[in-house]
Amino acid sequence: MNYDRILIRYGEMSLKGRNRKHFVTKLKKNIKFILQEYSNIGIESDWDRMYVLLNGEPAEPVISALKNVFGIQSFSPAIKTEKDIAAIRAAALHIIQQAHSPGNTFKVSARRSDKTFEYDTNGLNHAVGAHILINVEDIKVDVKNPDINLIVEIRQEAAYISGEVIQGAGGFPAGSSGKAMLMLSGGIDSPVAGYLTMKRGVGIEAVHFHSPPFTSERAKQKVLDLADKLAQYSGSVKVHIVPFTAIQETIHKVIPEGYTMTATRRMMLRITDEIRNRQGGLAIVTGESLGQVASQTMDSMYAINDVTSTPILRPLITMDKLDIIKIAEDINTIEISNRPYEDCCTIFTPPSPKTRPKLEKITHFEQKFAWDASLQEAVENTETIMVSARKKPLKDDLEDLF
């Protein structure tokens, strides 16, 4: 007897009454996509559960892939049996024998949505628990803090028995809440900002500003590697690489030194907004955190934000660096972010950028040059790369996901 299915609990998205159908459909599609290399797998969904039917595919890799899927609160590998006490006991015993080592404790947590079943929850706890105690040596019951929590669920169509509840990634299914453009540098913060936004169900496309020869192919590869980590959560991430050298050089010719950083950010934001417009995105995401560096003071944000009325999401705005690093460690982006590289901004950053730039001043300085043609050119020459979590060719059309 082996696990034949994985029972998935939706969690937070179940609160969203009206949108629920949409979320469930999206989640199903995302799970299908992430598990597409396991061709025998089937997925069934109902109002409050989803089942991944293994049909002979291995449980282990499927379980680890499911841990990254947003919209799953928790999941349990389970055995389906008939609603027959002998079959339920046999499955329960099998699960305990697989998980048990001497001295372990267990409890049975029975739940019953089919109230016509011959045992009530108490009766089930006892009937199954006694069977385990009789057949397994050196095991005890501990209802408070058991090593193994055996879950027995009696539903209308069948009984499901499972030995563990695995924490899911939480949040909402990727792509269920529109699309945003993530300004992705090679630093620690922006990938974390992307991850947190994706967790709320937002589909992400990344925009990266690249200034060859001042920034190298290595710097570009770093961003693609970061996008690859983010793609583990959504299946794929489109990365727009914007050639930014010419604009940066112009900035350094025409803008006074204390304001080059502000101008650089404003140009980046204008370009990102134009790409967003073309791609049908609804917001821009950055890794800014209040007070971290000169560009992230309130005055700076005020002067930079002025170029667009598009919503800018800043998931890290009030977070401490240590908390951001903790998330970067959890999502495995930290090692990539810590690779040495040249950032287009740091290379051109003057020794002392203004921490309190004035909007009137930067708009005045920018008037010395007609930027539109250069901005347009940068957008036109942007290279778009699809980064996919799966290395082998995809069956489904990626565009389909978002």
Taking a C-beta distance cutoff of 8 angstroms, is the pair 69, 199 a contact?
A: no
Selected from 295, 300, 374, 382, the binder of ligand ATP by CB under 6 A is: 295
Q: DSSP string spanning 54-99?
A: -TTS-HHHHHHHHTT-TT--EEEEEEEE-S-HHHHHHHHHHHHHHH
Asked if residue 213 has a cis previous peptide bond (ω within 30° of 0), the answer is yes
Q: What is the 3-state secondary structure (H, E, C) of 94-162?
A: HHHHHHCCCCCEEEEEEEECCCCCCCCHHHHHHHHHHHHHHHCCCCEECCCCCCEEEEEEECCCCEEEE
Q: Judged by CB under 6 A, does residue 190 bind ligand ATP?
A: yes
Tell which one of 127, 152, 184, 224 touches ligand ATP (CB under 6 A). Answer: 184
User: According to the annotation, is 172 in a ligand binding site?
Assistant: no
Least Cβ distance, residue 125 to Mg ion (angstroms): 55
Q: Does 235 bind ligand ATP (CB under 6 A)?
A: no
Question: DSSP assignment of 366-396, as one string?
Answer: HTTS--HHHHHHHHHT-EEEEEES-SSPPSS
Binders of Mg ion among residues 176 to 195 (CB under 5 A) are: 185, 187
The nearer residue to ligand ATP, 72 or 183, going by C-beta atoms, is 183
Least distance (Å) from Mg ion to the CB of residue 301? 15
- Smallest distance from ligand ATP to CB 310, Å: 14
- Residue 100 is assigned to a ligand binding site: no
By CB under 6 A, the count of residues binding ligand ATP is 20
Residue 305 CA: distances (Å) to CA of 6, 273, 295, 397: 46, 11, 11, 35
Stretch that binds ligand ATP, among 43-51, 171-179, 289-297, 369-377 (CB under 6 A): 289-297
Which of 283, 293, 325, 385 binds ligand ATP (CB under 6 A)? It is: 293
Nearer to ligand ATP, 61 or 212 (CB): 212
The backbone region for 11, taken as left when phi is positive above 0, alpha when psi lies in -120 to 50, beta otherwise, is left
**Residue 107 phi, psi dihedral angles, 5° rounding:** -145, 160
Whether 177 and 202 have beta carbons less than 8 Å apart is answered as yes
Length of the chain: 402
Segment interacting with ligand ATP, rule: CB under 6 A, options 25-33, 184-192, 325-333, 381-389: 184-192
188 binds, among Mg ion, ligand ATP, none (CB under 5 to 8 A by kind): ligand ATP
Out of 344, 362, 379, 389, the only residue in the binding site for ligand ATP (CB under 6 A) is 344
Query: According to the annotation, is 265 in a ligand binding site?
Result: yes
Q: Which residues bind Mg ion (CB under 5 A)?
A: 185, 187
Binding site per annotation, positions:
183-184, 208-209, 265, 287, 296
Q: Which residues bind ligand ATP (CB under 6 A)?
A: 183-185, 187-190, 207-209, 286-288, 292-293, 295-296, 343-345
